[in-house]
Amino acid sequence: MHYMIDIETLGTGSRAPIIQIGAVRFGDKGVIKTFTIDVEPPDDSEFSMRTIRWWIQQVKCGVEFPGSRWSDSQVVPLEEALNKGLRKFIKSPQEVWANPPTFDLTILQEAYHRFGLKAPWHYRAQRCCKTLASTCKELGIIVERPRPENHHDAMSDAIAQAYWVIMLKQAFKERVHADER
């Protein structure tokens, strides 16, 4: 199985407060299943005023703040989101993609570690959208990145990024097969 994970945070460090997690299970033909959860970050998270100001600007420009349409009862503590949510969703991952994994997956792995939990993917399964796109571009393969339905919504971003990876891999395969002829 292939997964794309995206998170929204109120910081950029490894202990940034995660406020939303979105993930999709996907294959060569498209998205198979989606997962999203709004998160109450723990008090020991490292908030960034720069990121909070950035979110304020986004909201002023019409971007919906993650979780703003839900009541408090629909926001779960981070430990529950990780252990009962994302862990249940991710099953035997061959590839776990992020854009980039050095942000999303690093922050999630730190969060799992904080609660004494192991991330539900092996480090060898991690993949980077930006690296794939850059490699394709160097080979003359240009694929326009799909726009998410709701920008800075973790699930919308994960869906768009999954389709980007599908399109990039397909274009790469077509190029390889054309070169073999």
The rounded distance, in Å, linking the Cα atoms of 129 and 144 is: 13
Radius of gyration from C-alpha coordinates of the chain:
17
**In this structure, what token pair is assigned to residue 73?**
């009862």
Burial pattern 67-106, b for ≥16 Cβ within 10 A else e, equals beeeeeeebbebbebbeebbeebbeebeebbbbebebbbb
Model confidence band, residue 150 (pLDDT cutoffs 50, 70, 90): confident
Is 67 a residue whose pLDDT tops 90? no
Q: In the CATH scheme, what architecture does the domain 2-180 have?
A: 2-Layer Sandwich (3.30)
**Residue among 12, 60, 69, 83 nearest 38 (CA):** 69
Is 101 a residue whose pLDDT tops 80? yes
pLDDT of residue 97: 98
The rounded distance, in Å, linking the Cα atoms of 87 and 120 is: 6
The rounded distance, in Å, linking the Cα atoms of 156 and 6 is: 9
Mean pLDDT of 101-123: 96
Is 71 a residue whose pLDDT tops 90? no
pLDDT tens digits along 8-45? 999 999 999 999 999 999 999 999 999 999 999 999 99
Is 73 a residue whose pLDDT tops 70? no
Mean pLDDT of 59-82: 83
Mean pLDDT of 160-181: 90
pLDDT of residue 116: 96
The rounded distance, in Å, linking the Cα atoms of 107 and 12 is: 8
* Domain limits, the chain: 2-180
The rounded distance, in Å, linking the Cα atoms of 57 and 30 is: 33
Is 106 a residue whose pLDDT tops 90? yes
Average pLDDT, the chain: 93
Model confidence band, residue 181 (pLDDT cutoffs 50, 70, 90): low
pLDDT of residue 51: 95
